[in-house]
Amino acid sequence: MSQVSVLDVFEDMPAQDSTSFPDPVGAEGGDCVVCGDKGSGFHYGVYSCGGCKGFFRRTVTKGYVKACKSGSKCNMDMYTRRKCPECRLRSCRAAGMRSECLLTQAQCRSKFLYRKKSETPKSDHPISSPNQEVPVQPPPNQSTGTDVQQQQNLVSDISNQSETCSLGEVSVPSTSSTQPFETVPEPVSFSQLNDSNGTNLVDEIISSFMDFGSENPVLTRTDSTGSDDMLSFLALLANETQSIDENDLDPSIGLFDEVPATTPIQSNSSIEHAENLLSLQRGEANLQATVSASTNGQASEENSESSTSDTPTESVNQATNPCDLKTNLQLSQKHQSADEDKATKEHTCSLFRPGKIQKFVRPDAVQNLSPEYQAIVSEIATFRKSWCEKHHKTLCVLIKGSIQDNSKKERQARFVAYMGSVMEKMVEFIRTVVHCFQDLCIEDQIAVVKASFFDCCMIKVPILLANFNGGVHVLKRILQAVHTEVFNATLMKWYEGMLDLKIDMTTLDLLQCVIVVSPDRPNIKGRDTLEQSYAQYIECLRAYCKVAYPESHLMFHRLLSKLTEVRTIGTAFGRSISSECESIIREHPLVSEIWNRD
DNA sequence: CATCTAAGCTTGACCTCG
DNA sequence: ACGAGGTCAAGCTTAGAT
Ligand SMILES: [Zn+2]
Ligand SMILES: [Zn+2]
């Protein structure tokens, strides 16, 4: 039962210019352009029959179709159209049907909730406990309520709730001690990775890659074999899996003892810190955070009811784990203990070399921006640069650790732990860079993070992969344990497609901002705030594209279409996770808020 | 191996909504 | 009226039992 992803099919097909809005295809009153059946109207831009309309909607939503067995060249008529879904999808695409015309899941959900709300205007008490989140009920399931189907619905519902995501950031929080740029510690060489000449290949390649002077690093792939081509090196690593796994790691370094896959990212010290912070803050959020911060074992009393997350209290084993989304949102500033910092420092390796990064933005480009956008861009760049300096060691440890994970179970645990850490960093990014975030109420903040998590993960994949030695290799190994083959292939294509744009990190971060403040999130009270911010980031992105990619006039439009695409793949990312991971996810409160639902 | 059966999946006519 | 998404009976496919 081989399957082919919708994105793959679309990529194969002659792409329409997504920046323009072509005239509808086909004649009113005529036959379906796809299959020749009697047309019922214009659907997704094409005059087509109800069957093809439904088929296109279902298929795009689902994300994959059964692969064709006869070379993807089947004829389409109203009788044969059922025989080969892949060819039918190709016909739809060829006819000009546009997936952009489908509403996003957030829009659908929004619509559903809106309808539901307006259906029951009487019993709707305007005054509701701030703590009591409107229980976001999924649409009623279809009649066939089997276990498997429920499971699928569950997963898809989660993607409904949490639409987007961000992979680039992992790590140990140490916001308090922002290091001055000039005092970047010199990385200790990870000398095992030597080439035949005895020189340290890794260091050499990475330094040349990172030594981009005053330029914002451009993430790209090339076919050149020059030493400045980070990706060719990554490919090299991918081809040399064995040697990296078995030989290139020096066990004496003991990197892997530090971050076992199953260790929750936050530890006891975070709780203390959370408590300290909470004592300084006032308002309803305090209660929620307190609830979240209490240890799971004790969370039975008055807390259990007010908790919006449905983590079954009895199933959580970690004695202390405040990895709750709310708590996380409270922890705007987390301190890393000196000990931890020291320990991490000792394990610095050359996977990433922040010392080589001078600037994350092209000064000349920024100067041409209006002061408003200049401020936004500079802030993003500063954050990213400081982030790299702060977290590179932890990332190195994590990536090296991932290489070490041999069993599927270990990799799944790593993935879950990693997602938790990504979530933390994403929150840090949002809090630091996206100013309007602070204006939202805590429920909105949670909704926004949940809804953008998967998409952000996808948009940031290039940052992760291009910045870290062996990133592709590591990611592939982990993903094999967690996602379906079909999805992984799609993800790699997405990744390559992003690299082909040759955009820089600041652009990716701007995209992330746009994703985060997308106003079409379900159940948002502060929609106006988001809308304003959204408009601002979109305009900023347009302006930045103009100055940063003067040679590429279509860049802004390409990025917009990537934003559409990222929703599809982000949704697929959330949906295609292996059911084997469920138990692990359940043990990680933060991650379970994203992937599990009631 | 053939047949039966239940469960799961896909389709498309028909529905509501804005 | 139009074109989105939602619904669900009917048909088709698949996996497991006999
Ligand atoms: Zn048709
Ligand atoms: Zn075919």
CATH of the domain at A453: 1.10.565.10
With respect to residue A578, please indicate whether it lies within any of the assigned structural domains.
yes
CB A169, CB A428: distance < 8 Å = yes
Question: How far is Cα A55 from Cα A59, in angstroms, rounded to an integer?
Answer: 6
Q: How far is the CA of A79 from the centre of ligand 2 (A)?
A: 13
- CB less than 7 Å from strand C: which protein residues? A 1, 24, 28, 41-45, 53-54, 57, 101-103, 108, 111-112, 139-140, 142-143
Strand B, nucleotides covered by protein (CB < 7 Å) = 7-14, 17-18
* Closest CA relative to residue A391, chosen from A178, A170, A166: A170
Q: Per-residue DSSP letters for A43-54?
A: ETTEEE-HHHHH
Spanning CA of A54 to C1' of B8, the rounded length in angstroms is 19
Q: How far is the CA of A495 from the centre of ligand 2 (A)?
A: 27
Nucleotide closest to residue A48 (CA–C1'): C3
* Closest CA relative to residue A236, chosen from A473, A396, A404: A473
With respect to residue A151, please indicate whether it lies within any of the assigned structural domains.
no
Nearest-ligand number for the alpha carbon of A68: 2
Question: How far is Cα A569 from Cα A461, in angstroms, rounded to an integer?
Answer: 12
| Total number of domains in chain A | 2
Spanning CA of A147 to C1' of C16, the rounded length in angstroms is 17
Spanning CA of A68 to C1' of C13, the rounded length in angstroms is 16
With respect to residue A107, please indicate whether it lies within any of the assigned structural domains.
no
Spanning CA of A483 to C1' of B3, the rounded length in angstroms is 37
pLDDT band at A15 (very low <50, low <70, confident <90, very high): low
Place of tokens 């610095």: A348
pTM: 0.48
CB A249, CB A405: distance < 8 Å = no
Nucleotide closest to residue A97 (CA–C1'): C3
- Top mean-pLDDT range of A197-201, A214-218, A552-556: A552-556
Nucleotide closest to residue A28 (CA–C1'): C2
pLDDT in tens, A387-422: 777 776 666 666 666 666 667 777 788 888 888 888
Strand C, nucleotides covered by protein (CB < 7 Å) = 2-9, 14-15
pLDDT in tens, A25-35: 666 667 899 99
With respect to residue A467, please indicate whether it lies within any of the assigned structural domains.
yes
Spanning CA of A165 to C1' of C3, the rounded length in angstroms is 31
Start-to-end CA span in chain A (Å): 32
Q: How far is the CA of A76 from the centre of ligand 2 (A)?
A: 9
Q: Within a 10 A sphere around the Cβ of A1, how many other Cβ atoms?
A: 4
Strand partners, A200: A194
CB A38, CB A50: distance < 8 Å = no
Nearest-ligand number for the alpha carbon of A88: 2
Protein residue closest via CA to C1' of C14? A1
Determine whether the distance from the CB of A120 to the nearest atom of strand B is below 7 Å.
Answer: no
Interface residues 338-367 of A with strand B (CB < 7 Å): none
Determine whether the distance from the CB of A88 to the nearest atom of strand B is below 7 Å.
Answer: yes
H or E, element range at A41: strand A41-43
Nucleotide closest to residue A3 (CA–C1'): B9
With respect to residue A329, please indicate whether it lies within any of the assigned structural domains.
no
CB A543, CB A370: distance < 8 Å = yes
pLDDT in tens, A470-486: 566 667 777 777 887 77
pLDDT at A103 > cutoff 70: yes
- Top mean-pLDDT range of A162-166, A271-275, A400-404, A562-566: A562-566
Strand partners, A65: A4
The mean per-residue pLDDT over the stretch A155-183 comes to 30
Last residue of a domain, one of A70, A102, A134: A102
pLDDT at A527: 83
Spanning CA of A51 to C1' of C11, the rounded length in angstroms is 14
Place of tokens 């401020």: A375
Protein residue closest via CA to C1' of C1? A41
Determine whether the distance from the CB of A143 to the nearest atom of strand B is below 7 Å.
Answer: no
Place of tokens 């451009």: A218
Q: How far is the CA of A50 from the centre of ligand 2 (A)?
A: 21
Identity of residue A125: H
The fraction of chain A above a pLDDT of 70, given in percent, is 48
Protein residue closest via CA to C1' of B17? A115
Question: How far is Cα A386 from Cα A432, in angstroms, rounded to an integer?
Answer: 12
- Pick the residue with more confidence: A345 or A556? A556
Nearest-ligand number for the alpha carbon of A83: 2
CB A168, CB A498: distance < 8 Å = no
Paired tokens of A400: 């090296």
Domain that holds residue A62: 3-12+28-102
* Closest CA relative to residue A106, chosen from A165, A44, A157, A53: A157
Paired tokens of A177: 């001690």
pLDDT at A146: 31
Determine whether the distance from the CB of A553 to the nearest atom of strand B is below 7 Å.
Answer: no
Question: How far is Cα A238 from Cα A491, in angstroms, rounded to an integer?
Answer: 16
* Closest CA relative to residue A109, chosen from A162, A153, A160: A160
CB A521, CB A106: distance < 8 Å = yes
Weakest-pLDDT range from A156-160, A323-327, A419-423, A456-460: A156-160
Last residue of a domain, one of A65, A84, A102: A102
The mean per-residue pLDDT over the stretch A491-520 comes to 85
Last residue of a domain, one of A57, A84, A102: A102
CATH of the domain at A35: 3.30.50.10
With respect to residue A539, please indicate whether it lies within any of the assigned structural domains.
yes
Q: How far is the CA of A63 from the centre of ligand 1 (A)?
A: 20
CB A503, CB A218: distance < 8 Å = yes
Question: How far is Cα A294 from Cα A523, in angstroms, rounded to an integer?
Answer: 27
Collapsing DSSP to helix, strand or coil, A444 comes out as: helix
Q: How far is the CA of A65 from the centre of ligand 1 (A)?
A: 17
Q: How far is the CA of A47 from the centre of ligand 1 (A)?
A: 9
Determine the length of chain A: 598
Determine whether the distance from the CB of A104 to the nearest atom of strand B is below 7 Å.
Answer: no
Question: How far is Cα A415 from Cα A407, in angstroms, rounded to an integer?
Answer: 12
With respect to residue A428, please indicate whether it lies within any of the assigned structural domains.
yes
- Top mean-pLDDT range of A279-288, A429-438, A458-467: A429-438
Q: How far is the CA of A77 from the centre of ligand 1 (A)?
A: 8
Give the Cα-Cα-Cα angle A425, A428, A432 (nearest 5 degrees). Answer: 145
Identity of residue A192: Q
> Crossing angle of helices A284-293/A442-467, nearest 10°?
60
Q: Per-residue DSSP letters for A359-384?
A: -SS-HHHHHTS-HHHHHHHHHHHHHH
With respect to residue A225, please indicate whether it lies within any of the assigned structural domains.
no
